[in-house]
Structure 1
Amino acid sequence: MIEQAVRPLAANPKLRDLILAVRRSYEQVIDEANKDMVLFAGPSAAATERAHQITAKFREYIEQHKDAITALQILYSRPHRQQLTFKDIKALANAIERPPQQWTPEVLWRAYEQLDRSKVRGSGGKMLTDIVSLVRFALEHDAQLVPYKDQVETRYENWLAQQKQGGRVFTAEQIRWLGLMKEHISASLTITVDDFDYEPFLQHGGLGKAYAVFGQQFTPLLSELSEALAA
C-alpha cells in the first residue's frame, strides 16, 4: 500500500522538487548558538524631536501666559497666593486645547514620557487635574512628573500619620468619609459643603450624614483637607 502511495512521486521528479521547494519556504532556522542583538529600542528620532518641540513650546506658553491665565498665575507663584479651583484648570485646559497648540493633558504627558521615562511616574494625563502636575513639572517645581491623584494619595497618608501622632483619632466610619473627600479633591482640587449635596456623598447620606459623623469639626475639617491635600 505504501509503495502504491509513493509511486506517483517516484515517477515524477518535478513534483518531488516542487514539494521540497514548498517545504523549504516554510522552514525556519533557529540559531541557538548566538544571541540576538537588539539594534534599537525606543522611540524614533522623529518622535523624540516632536516630543521635545511639544514640551519646549508648553514651557514657552506658560511663560507667555502666566499673567493672563489664573491657573498659571497661581501655579507660577511659590508659595501659592490663593487656592486653585477646578474652574481655573478647566479654563487652562480649554486654552491649551485651542489651535495652534491643540494640547491635551494626555498629549503633554506622553511627550514628557517619551523624552525621559525615568522622570515620569505612573500613567497620567487622563484626569484634568493632571494639568497641575504638568505645569509644576514644566516649571521644575517638581523633580518628577507624578499623576495628581497619586500626589493627593501620598499627602493624605502623610496627613493621617500626622493626625495620629498628634493624638487625633478617627473612627472607621470617619475614615470612610475621609476617603471619599480625598477622592473628590483628587478630581476637583477642592471640597466645600455644597459638594455633599451630590454624588458620591449623596448616596452615603449627604450633608446631614457628614455633619452627624464629624460633628462640629466637619466644616473646619474641609478647609484643613483642601489645604493639606491640594498643596
Structure 2
Amino acid sequence: MSDDNKNPEQIARDEIDGQLNLSGWVIQSKSELNPAAALGVAVREYQTDVGPADYVLFVDGQAAGVLEAKQESWGQNLTTVEQQSSGYAAAKLKWVSNSAPLPFVYESTGTITRFTNGQDPKPRSREVFAVHRPATLKAWLRAQQMA
C-alpha cells in the first residue's frame, strides 16, 4: 500500500516498525503473541485494562515497557502524550502478570521519539535518537534488580 492510501497514524507506525527492527526488536501482532520469540519483542495493540497500548515491549519474555505512537503532526507536542503512555505502563496487562508499572515508556511519531526511564530517581522524559536496543533495556533491568 502506498503512503497516499494510508492515514497519518499508519504512516507513523510503519516508520516506528522500521526503527524498532533496526534496533533489534521483533514486531508481533497480538494474534501471534510469543513474548519469548526473541530477546526483544514489540507487540502491537496489546490489550490493557485501560485500553490497547500501541506497543508493549517485552525483554527476555517479560513486559518491560510501552510505546505510544502518534502521527508526525504531533511533533514537538509529543510531551502532551506522556500521561497517556504512563497510564498504559501502569495498567494491568492481559495475558501476563505485571504487579508494578512497566519502567520504560516511549512516545514516538516515527520522526521524534521521547523516553522516560521509570527507574530513574526523578523520572523525566527526554528526546532520544531511537528506541533502545533490547540488550540495553535488559542490562538496565538487571542493574536495578542488583541495586
Q: Same fold (TM over 0.5)?
A: no
Q: Larger % of helix: which?
A: 1
Q: Which structure has the higher relative contact order (CA within 8 Å, separation 6+)?
A: 2
Q: Larger % of strand: which?
A: 2
TM-score (ref. length: structure 2): 0.30
